[in-house]
């Protein structure tokens, strides 16, 4: 019975890929493309262990090289409450894996000649005309008092795309209380309202002089609206999702998406998983307010859809023979845009500045330490659990989708890059 099920899953996978003009490598091709199937199997055993330990409910892994999918497998359950098995076409919350797609939306407007990376934000968003730098802060009976000075440099579009605005966020800056105040109910309003509030906060440093992972891509989404004259979500749909046939990628979901929508869990500290958001019609992503279209973390997608986007980047802007963006535009997504004295990484291991930031991704600057991917590899992950990387040198795309907060140190997730590169034997 197990063998029959495996064959059916393989046939289903092949049929889905064929319908979308994507190629599944045969066992012989997997070997020719330089991968060791036994290592793939060993990695899936690690995923199984994580499921058995109630660290995750399930996961989908997709690995491809030179445009051919060499590994595509799902494990566990999509929804524990209903015991819906995880399938390759499951829909996941991308969280910050939204950022490369949102970045491309704004880059396409640059390609159209509508704006430049060096344009001040205030040219399109007047609320950024005057910015303050925080010097110190104090509190009086629970009320925060900030001492500031005027910024000497303007905020530029490039700063928003590289997390160098100096704005506080959930990941850095010296005003977490101020950021939390404007972020608390952001999903109930829209990106215009959020960006206007963000512009009121003092900056931690002069624009371009530091790196704080934050809300720059929400600003980018608002820029797209103002410059294009279209709602951000409509522009993304028209210029990226529709031409690339990313039919399962949406900012918000509908009730008919619920059977494929994964539930979002976190370990409860007692050996079980507790539910954060269900993969059902009760999910806030289906039944909640659909007004906040965040370029920083609002999209949902399948592993296959996300692979399409990654492969388009490898192919310098072409998907399935269709030109999505110019090579020069995609080159900005593959090239370090940070000054070498800054590092584009949330979790710093040393002071060597090993990671830069392109327009869209973190990029590995040099081959040092225990990270096995080559220099030039671009990558990121989402706070809801998924991770991916694009090894441009070897033309490898690797995606692992699960729905457990990235704050939890899951061994198979942190070692994903090592497993993939270990499987690439030649």
What would the pLDDT profile of 184-204 be if each residue is shown by its tens digit?
A: 999 999 999 999 999 999 999
How sure is the predictor about 49, in pLDDT bands with cuts at 50, 70 and 90?
very high
pLDDT at res. 12: 40
Query: Which is higher by pLDDT, 69 or 31?
Result: 69
Which residue ranges does the chain devote to CATH 3.40.710.10?
Answer: 2-77+86-93+253-289+302-423, 104-230
pLDDT at res. 3: 40
Distance, CA of 260 to CA of 303 (rounded, Å): 12
173 phi and psi angles, rounded to 5 deg: 90, 175
Mean predicted confidence (pLDDT) in 417-426: 93
Q: Please give the biggest Cα pair distance in the chain.
A: 71
pLDDT at res. 27: 87
Burial group, residue 318, by CB count within 10 angstroms (0-12, 13-18, 19+)? middle
Mean predicted confidence (pLDDT) in 235-243: 98
The closest alpha carbon to 253, from 61, 94, 130, 74, belongs to: 94
Percentage of the chain modeled with pLDDT above 70: 95
pLDDT at res. 143: 86
Mean predicted confidence (pLDDT) in 263-289: 96
Mean predicted confidence (pLDDT) in 145-162: 96
Two tokens, residue 259: 């059977």
Two tokens, residue 141: 């009976």
Q: How many CA atoms lie within 13 A of 255 on its CB side?
A: 3
Q: Domain 104-230 - what CATH class? A: alpha beta
Q: Residue 377 CB: number of other CB atoms within 10 A? A: 23
- With a CB cutoff of 8 Å and minimum separation 6, the contacts of 126 are none
How sure is the predictor about 352, in pLDDT bands with cuts at 50, 70 and 90?
confident
Say what the pTM is. 0.93
Per-residue pLDDT at 76 exceeds 50: yes
Query: Which is higher by pLDDT, 58 or 6?
Result: 58
Query: Angle at CA 229, nearest 5°, toward 289 and 222?
Result: 50
Per-residue pLDDT at 348 exceeds 90: no
Percentage of the chain modeled with pLDDT above 90: 86
- CB distance 175 to 214 below 8 Å: no
Per-residue pLDDT at 131 exceeds 50: yes
pLDDT at res. 214: 96
Per-residue pLDDT at 7 exceeds 60: no
Strands 396-401 and 378-381: unpaired
How sure is the predictor about 347, in pLDDT bands with cuts at 50, 70 and 90?
confident
* 121-125, 137-141, 287-291, 374-378: range with lowest mean pLDDT: 137-141
**Mean pLDDT score across all residues of the chain:** 93
Assigned architecture for domain 2-77+86-93+253-289+302-423:
3-Layer(aba) Sandwich (3.40)
Per-residue pLDDT at 9 exceeds 70: no
Mean predicted confidence (pLDDT) in 41-64: 96
- CB distance 344 to 211 below 8 Å: yes
Mean predicted confidence (pLDDT) in 144-160: 96
- CB distance 62 to 304 below 8 Å: yes
Per-residue pLDDT at 416 exceeds 80: yes
pLDDT at res. 25: 86
Distance, CA of 12 to CA of 109 (rounded, Å): 38
How sure is the predictor about 21, in pLDDT bands with cuts at 50, 70 and 90?
low
The closest alpha carbon to 397, from 338, 312, 323, 327, belongs to: 312
Per-residue pLDDT at 17 exceeds 60: no
- Per residue, the 3-state secondary structure of the chain, as one string, reads CHHHHHHHHHHHHHHHHHHCCCEECCHHHHHHCCECHHHHHHHHHHHHHHHHCCCCCEEEEEEEECCEEEEEEEEEEEECCCCEECCCCCEEECHHHHHHHHHHHHHHHHHCCCCCCCCEHHHCCHHHCCCEEEEEEEEECCEEEEEEEECCCCCEHHHHHHCCCCCCECCECCCHHHHHHHHCCHHHCCHHHHHHHHCCCCECCCCCCCCCCCCHHHHHHHHHHHHHCCCHHHHHHHHHHCCCCCCCCECCCCHHHHHHECCEEEECCCCCEEEEECCCCCCHHHHCCCCCCCCCCCCEECHHHHHHHHHHHHCCCEECCEECCCHHHHHHHHCCCCCCCCCCCCCCCCCCCCEEECCCCEEECCCCCCCCCCCCCEEEECCCCCEEEEECCCCEEEEEECCCCCCCCCHHHHCHHHHHHHHECC
pLDDT at res. 360: 97
Per-residue pLDDT at 8 exceeds 50: no
Distance, CA of 251 to CA of 231 (rounded, Å): 12
Mean predicted confidence (pLDDT) in 63-92: 96
pLDDT at res. 195: 98
Two tokens, residue 234: 């409509």
Distance, CA of 400 to CA of 322 (rounded, Å): 26
Strands 23-24 and 68-79: parallel
Pick left, alpha or beta for residue 271 (phi over 0 → left; psi -120 to 50 → alpha; otherwise beta).
Answer: left
pLDDT at res. 157: 98
């Amino acid at each position: 019975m197990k063998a029959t099920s495996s064959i059916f899953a393989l046939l289903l996978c092949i049929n889905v890929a064929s319908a979308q003009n994507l190629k599944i490598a045969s066992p012989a091709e997997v070997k020719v493309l330089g991968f060791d199937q036994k290592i793939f199997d060993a990695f899936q055993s690690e995923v199984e262990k994580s499921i058995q330990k109630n660290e995750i409910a399930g996961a989908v892994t997709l690995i491809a090289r030179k445009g051919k999918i060499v590994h595509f497998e799902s494990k566990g359950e999509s929804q524990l409450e209903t015991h819906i098995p995880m399938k390759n076409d499951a829909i996941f919350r991308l969280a910050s894996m939204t950022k490369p797609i949102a970045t491309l939306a704004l880059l396409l407007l640059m390609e159209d000649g509508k704006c430049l990376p060096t344009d001040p934000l205030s040219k399109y968003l007047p609320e950024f005309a005057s910015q303050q730098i925080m010097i110190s802060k104090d509190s009086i009976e629970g009320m925060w008092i900030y001492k500031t000075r005027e910024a000497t440099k303007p905020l530029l579009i490039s700063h928003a795309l590289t997390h160098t605005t100096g704005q506080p966020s959930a990941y850095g800056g010296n005003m977490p209380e101020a950021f939390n105040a404007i972020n608390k109910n952001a999903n109930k309003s829209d990106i215009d309202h959020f960006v206007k509030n963000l512009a009121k906060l003092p900056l931690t440093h002069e624009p371009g002089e530091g790196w704080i992972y934050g809300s720059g891509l929400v600003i980018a989404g608002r820029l797209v609206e103002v410059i294009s004259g279209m709602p951000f979500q409509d522009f993304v749909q028209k210029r990226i999702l529709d031409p690339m046939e990313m039919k399962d990628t949406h900012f918000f979901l509908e009730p008919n998406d619920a059977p494929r929508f994964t539930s979002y869990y976190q370990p409860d500290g007692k050996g079980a998983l507790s539910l954060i958001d269900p993969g059902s019609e009760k999910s806030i992503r289906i039944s909640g307010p659909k007004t906040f279209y965040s370029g920083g973390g609002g999209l949902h997608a399948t592993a296959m859809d996300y692979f399409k986007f990654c492969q388009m980047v490898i192919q310098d802007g072409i998907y399935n023979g269709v030109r999505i963006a110019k090579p020069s535009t995609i080159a900005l997504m593959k090239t370090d845009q940070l000054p070498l004295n800054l590092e584009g990484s949330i979790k710093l291991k040393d002071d060597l500045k090993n990671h830069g930031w392109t327009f869209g991704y973190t990029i590995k600057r040099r081959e040092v330490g225990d990270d096995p991917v080559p220099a030039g590899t671009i990558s990121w992950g989402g706070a809801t659990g998924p991770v991916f990387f694009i090894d441009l040198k070897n033309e490898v795309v690797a995606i692992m989708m699960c729905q457990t907060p990235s704050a939890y140190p899951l061994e198979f997730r942190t070692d994903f890059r090592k497993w993939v590169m270990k499987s690439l034997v030649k």
